[in-house]
Structure 1
């Protein structure tokens, strides 16, 4: 139902609150999902839902920025691929500072470097 081409915003919003994460993932993959709903689902507890949002070309930049800082490599990797270069550069600077402070994710920092070329 979530992937149905005629699913309404109201139906998708209701399904986005479903207890089964597979249903919420289908909402994130729907061609009719709204940017507002994608932004809300970017905070979902299930990484499969967040990764689906990161793959959705309709996802707003605000949600991509959140997903790029996700704790799950499956999620942040998808988001990084879709961020415009200025956002990648800004994120790189932040990740570098966190890494220099003895924290942060070296794998993510290296991936951003690769994407920046």
Structure 2
């Protein structure tokens, strides 16, 4: 029983860590939404084969097309007056941030409930 509780704590902690990494990349994307030529970072989640814990994969760059912005006065503008914007869509980033936050909170609740169960078990054993 005690090992199951520790495993539950480990699963919840790995989920919180993965979601915090995801939120970090989402915030970097939002911060760089106006950076010319910026490709948004996306992260995937993997399950470690030996432990079953959630792990954040390496961030990769979204290879979708960059937005072309007509700005003939910009130093990076080409001969037609266009420059590359970023491929960050703030609506998508905000939705990803909300999803990461909710997943983090769900893992936090699981962690807290497991901790309370462990405390109750220790209280019973002390009697």
TM-score by length of 1: 0.22
TM-score by length of 2: 0.20
Higher strand share: 2
Structure number with greater Rg is 2
Q: Which of 1 and 2 has higher RCO (CA within 8 Å, sep 6+)?
A: 2
